[in-house]
Every structure is written in structure tokens, then in C-alpha cells.
Amino acid sequence: MEAKNSLFMLLLLVIICNGNAQLYLSGGPKSNYTFPKDFLFGVSTAAAQIEGAWNEDGKSESIWDHLVHNNPNFVKDHSNADVAADSYHLYKRDVEMIRELGVDIYRFSVSWPRVLPTGFANEVNPLGIQYYRNLIDELVKYNITPMVTIYHWDLPQKLQDIGGWTNAHIVDYYTDYANVLFKNFADKVKYWITFNEPMQTCLEGYGGTYRAPALNRHGIAEYLCTHNLLKAHANVYHLFDKQYRPLYGGKIGMSLDSNWAEPKTNSTKDIEAARLYLTTHLGWYAHPVYSTEGNYPPELIKLVGQKSQKQNYSRSRLPEFTPSEVDFIRGTADFFGLNHYTTYLLSMADKEVGAIPSHANDVGIIRVQDPNWPSKSSSDWLKVVPFGFRRLLQYITKTYNNIPIIVTENGYADFSGVDDKARVSYYGHYLNALLHAIHVDKSNVHGYFAWSLMDNFEWDDGYVSRFGLYLVDFKSPNKTRTAKHSAKLYSSVVATRGLPADYDPADFTAFSSAPILVSTMLPLLALYRLL
């Protein structure tokens, strides 16, 4: 009898632990809080992913056009973005969808090669300017606030031919480009983002081969790219601040991508690995702009310098900012744009990591994901870990002096279909975590943008992965858009400023029929505190 009682108690404990694990994973119990009245709800897109019309009306070739046209095997389904969702011709339908959702603000990007086909400001394409003016006017007509991303990965190929972001003169070329946009649109655009996910641009596009231009110059090109990009960001911020803000008002920042870093175990080494990951990845771009001290994170400077010396380089592969450049870059943002999707487990490497030299090798940490974390996503990396979202928001608030945060991207990928239960569940869990972040943790979050308004060309995934709130029938002549169930959920949250009544924070069945087990040591310790 005693043995049976012990077994019963053990089973009961497993059931209780699993229930609490689900609540832990979701970021907390269901929140009865609501989003503030002035909280911004929006949706995001990018020109290269939705516009199509890749060579119409004077637009020149972008680095993504060049990459996929010359390397069709780069994309999973061998597709390209020549037509995509055809938003160049269907922008009025896009605005109609935004109105249906009831959101306050629409974040879209401008295509540099559409506005400046040569890459330089000596030739401004009037048809490109007119397209964006039409889109902005259509938004303003319905009281939807435009948020413009100046650069979302589609550099003119003509500039890439002369070095792209590794050419120091790109700072001036980019400033000239931004000035053209400010001159034409600053009277109606009140939110600007200089760069979307610069780490993807530099680390994956110049250091690696995951993004255009896929240079594969590890350990060199990503650092040169970053150095020029941060200077360009600061240049444009100061241009806006001095010449356009006094006339029209408005705010300007940048959108950085970051996963949350959870230690793989509760060991001192793994805790240090998680901290180091945030410092040398998110901090690589955030520290120069948002920290009190400015400059690259001291640990990144030290690590790259030491590795460079061991590899017999005459100087660090990480370029140095002068003291005046540090001052010029520091504080050049009115808000912290955050793109977040998932969480990783971090540990210290016990041997050389990746290519030598490379940023990964310089830092020397390993990231993995817990196989028990739920996901049925079409993107293998997109595990559903809402507690990581909450923790990251708290980390940014504490680390970067309570800077206002706008979540400029958050979303979920599936394979297609209107009945997108997994995406509905994802948004429920992440918005629940966001409410806890705002009201319990006092994270300074001012806005949230769902990625994405509609299905699009998802870079190397082509049209296999779908992130949209609206289904796009890419085979139809009119690229028919249809609201998914997730669009209805999001519009409900926007209208009520709260979660739906039937949301269950312990329900992860949309992702997996198997029990949700949290198998890492730190989550188990947190569960222990809950019990």
C-alpha cells in the first residue's frame, strides 16, 4: 500500500509539474490586464518580400534579385520575388486589410533600388517616389500611421558591386538615400527605422551565406559591415534630428533582432554563456547606440582582439571607433525596435567553434534548443517559448536605461491554410507574456507589430513558410488575400485591448499532442518555486 501511495504521489507530482511547466513556458498564468489605450498595435512587411514589380517603372536590381536569379537553388522552392504578393499594384487592398484588422500603425519598408536605381541620389526615380507617396496617402486617409523602414535588406546591386556595406563610402550613400525619403515623406511619416536586423545583414549576409549578398567572408566582412552600418545609422539620426524633426516632429530608431538566451543548465559556465550571448549578439549593435558608455561591448572588443592576435593578424579584425565616433553614435535612437521570435539554450564551447576566423569562433559559445519545446512551424528554428519573450523585454529595459521598446516583429510560420490554429495559439501565448512583461515586470513596451500582414517571399524559404495574418494565393492572377483565423484573433485583441476570454495559457495542443516537458535545469528550478 505504501509503495502504491508513493507511486500515486509521484504520478500526481508529474501531472502537477507538467501543468506548471506549461504555465511557465507560456510566460505566466492568463493575464487579466489590458494593453494601455495609447499602446501601438501594428503589422509589418518588407518591400523585397511583397512588392514584386522587380524591374518595373525604373526599379533596378537589388542584391536579393541578383542572388536568387543567379542562384535559384538558394531558395527551397526555387522561387523568386519577381511578383511576390504584387503589392506594387495591390497596395490599396493591403491598406484595406490593415483597416479590417483595426490596427493603429503599418510598418513597411522602402526599396532603395526603386527610389534610387543607380544607388546614388543624383538620379531620383519619380515613379518610385510616387508609389510610396500613394501608399502613405492611402494610409493617412484612413488614420493609419505609417512607419517606414529605410533599409530592409534590399541594397541596390550596383552599390554591392563596389563593396556594399564593406565600402566606407556607403555611409554617405545611405545618408543621401535617407535624405531623399525625409524630403519627400517626413511631413506625413512620424516613425522611422534606419535598419531592420542589421545583424542579419552583416553576420549572415557578409560573414556567412544565409542572406544576400552571401559573401562568406567570416570574421572580416561582418565586422566591416557593422562598423559602416552603425556610422550610417548615426549619420541619418543626426540628419533627421537637426533638419526634419524641428519641422515635422517624429521619432527614429532601429530594429534589432534577438532571441532570448537561456542557460542550458544552472552551471556557472552556462549562465555566463547566456549572458555573453546577449552581450555579443544583441549588444554588438545595441551597446554602441543604447548604452550609457557607447562603443562596442568591452567583452567583444577583448575577445576579437585576443583571437586576432593568436591568428597572427597585425590588428584586431574588429575595427575601432574613435572617441568622437563613440560620442556621435551613442544615444542615436528614440526607441528600441525589437524583432523577436524564439529562445535558445546556451553553453560555453570546449573547443573551436565554426569557421576560423568568424564571429562565432571569436565568442566561443554554443546554442541549441530544447527538443521538448513545442513547434509545428515550417521554420525549424521557431520553437514556441513565450517566457523567453518576457525575459528579453525585461533584460532590454534594465540593460538599456528604460528605453521605450517597440516590438517591430513577432510571429509564427506554418505551411499554409486559413485555419491556422498554431499561429492563433502562438499569438495568444506571446501576447499573454507581453502583458505580464508590461504590468508585472514593468518592461517599458510601447507597441507591438505582428509579422506579417500577409504571406510573402520568405527569403531562402521562398513561399514554403507562411507568416501572414492573411493567406495569399500566389497562383491566382490577383494574388487573392484571405483573412486567416489569426487575423480575427489579432483584430479582437486590438479592439478589446485584451486577450480573448477562451485563451488558456496551459494549452499547447496546437503545436504538439505530446506532453510539454521543460527539461532544462533553470526552468525546473523556477517550477520548484511555483510548487
Give pLDDT tens digits along the chain (531 positions).
555 444 434 433 443 345 566 777 989 999 889 999 999 999 999 999 999 999 999 999 999 999 999 999 999 999 999 999 999 999 999 999 999 999 999 999 999 999 999 999 999 999 999 999 999 999 999 999 999 999 999 999 999 999 999 999 999 999 999 999 999 999 999 999 999 999 999 999 999 999 999 999 999 999 999 999 999 999 999 999 999 999 999 999 999 999 999 999 999 999 999 999 999 999 999 999 999 999 999 999 999 999 999 999 999 999 999 999 999 999 999 999 999 999 999 999 999 998 899 999 999 999 999 999 999 999 999 999 999 999 999 999 999 999 999 999 999 999 999 999 999 999 999 999 999 999 999 999 999 999 999 999 999 999 999 999 999 999 999 999 999 999 999 999 999 999 999 999 999 999 975 555 555 444 444 333 333
Name the helix (H) or strand (E) containing 486. Answer: helix 485-496
Backbone angles phi, psi at 105, to 5 degrees: -150, 145
Estimate the share of the chain in helix, then strand, then coil, as percent rounded to the nearest 5.
45, 15, 40
Q: Does residue 409 carry a catalytic annotation?
A: yes
Q: What amino acid is encoded at 483 in this protein?
A: A
Quote the pTM value: 0.95
Q: Is 12 within a domain?
A: no
Q: What are the C-alpha distances in Å from 46 to residues 158, 166, 352, 465, 525?
A: 20, 23, 36, 15, 41
User: What does the alpha-carbon distance between residue 389 and residue 386 come to, in Å, rounded to a whole number?
Assistant: 5
Cβ-based burial of 320 (10 A; exposed 0-12, middle 13-18, buried ≥19): middle
CATH number, domain at 160? Answer: 3.20.20.80
Q: Does residue 197 carry a catalytic annotation?
A: yes
Of 138, 197, 262, 458, the active-site residue reads 197
Q: Is 13 within a domain?
A: no
CB contact at 8 A, 407 and 446: no
Q: Is 322 within a domain?
A: yes
CA nearest 346: which of 394, 391, 306?
Answer: 391
Task: Give me the helices (H) in 265-410, please.
Answer: 268-277, 283-290, 298-310, 323-329, 359-363, 386-399
Q: Count H helices, E strands: the chain?
A: 20, 13
Query: Angle CA(377)–CA(215)–CA(287) in degrees, nearest 5?
Result: 70
Name the helix (H) or strand (E) containing 488. Answer: helix 485-496
Cβ-based burial of 265 (10 A; exposed 0-12, middle 13-18, buried ≥19): middle
451 lies in which domain range?
30-530
> Per the structure block, which three cell numbers stand in for 484?
486567416
Q: Where are the beta strands (DSSP E) in 45-151?
A: 105-109, 145-151
Task: Count other Cβ atoms within 10 Å, centred on residue 496.
Answer: 12
User: What does the alpha-carbon distance between residue 455 and residue 468 come to, in Å, rounded to a whole number?
Assistant: 4
Of 61, 222, 409, 458, the active-site residue reads 409
Provide the pLDDT for residue 512.
Answer: 75
Q: Is 400 within a domain?
A: yes
Provide the pLDDT for residue 520.
Answer: 45
Provide the pLDDT for residue 21.
Answer: 67
- How many domains does the structure of the chain reveal? 1
DSSP summary character for residue 165: G
Q: Is 19 within a domain?
A: no
CB contact at 8 A, 286 and 336: yes
Q: Is 3 within a domain?
A: no
CB contact at 8 A, 38 and 104: no
Cβ-based burial of 506 (10 A; exposed 0-12, middle 13-18, buried ≥19): middle
SS3 of residue 105 by DSSP = strand
Provide the pLDDT for residue 519.
Answer: 52
Q: Is 21 within a domain?
A: no
Q: Is 63 within a domain?
A: yes
